[in-house]
A and B are shown apart, each in its own frame.
Chain A
């Protein structure tokens, strides 16, 4: 089982819809969870991080964490074409540890 798994997509949603991205992880010792957005040919940029069970909202983005089920998700409300990118889920085991990345989910928002 891979450490961090994501559906590679592509996930296609119409403009204005909610995009839902999911991620599962295998190590129950993971403590911090991150969502990065990566445009083609660019380096990842941090969207959100979460470390407590429940929801965390930041603007149009909501991260959800369920440690018992070992999944973390990202919801993007009012999706825009500019949101079209690959979304990477990453986890680490502690504040000083390295990040383990999933393969990413490619999101396409159609105008």
Chain B
């Protein structure tokens, strides 16, 4: 089955630093990947849609200069949280869409804590 690997699973960083999260599709090519954020007891909120070889599409209210998305290959998308602040602490999850297959495969998520 389709597997999406996400790293790191958790990270603690200091306020003002940047953190990169990687999402890899291991056994299929993902032309589209989605990045979600989930605060405690809240639902998943879509942050951006990442398309291979083109700029990401950000949802309203998501700062594209703060959350940098790169989808340079068909198997890798990265999300970089720049100048992180405590309010960015959240659970970040990527999801990949496999062409011709209904349903989306999620990565295992990254718990970010900014101190």
Contact = CB atoms under 8 A, between A and B. Distances in A.
B32 interface: yes
B49 A45 contact: no
A contact patch SS: loop
B102 A44 contact: no
Interface stretch (A12-20, A65-73, A77-85, A96-104): A96-104
A51 interface: yes
Interface string A30-52: 00101010000111111001010
B106 A44 contact: yes
A1 interface: no
Given A43-B109, A98-B49, 13 more contacts: A32-B102, A42-B108, A43-B93, A43-B106, A43-B107, A43-B108, A44-B93, A95-B102, A96-B32, A99-B34, A99-B46, A99-B95, A100-B46
Interface of B: 6, 32, 34, 42-46, 49, 91, 93, 95, 97, 102-109, 111
19 contacts: A32-B102, A36-B106, A42-B109, A43-B6, A43-B106, A43-B107, A44-B106, A51-B102, A88-B43, A88-B44, A96-B32, A96-B97, A98-B34, A98-B46, A99-B34, A99-B46, A100-B46, A101-B43, A103-B43
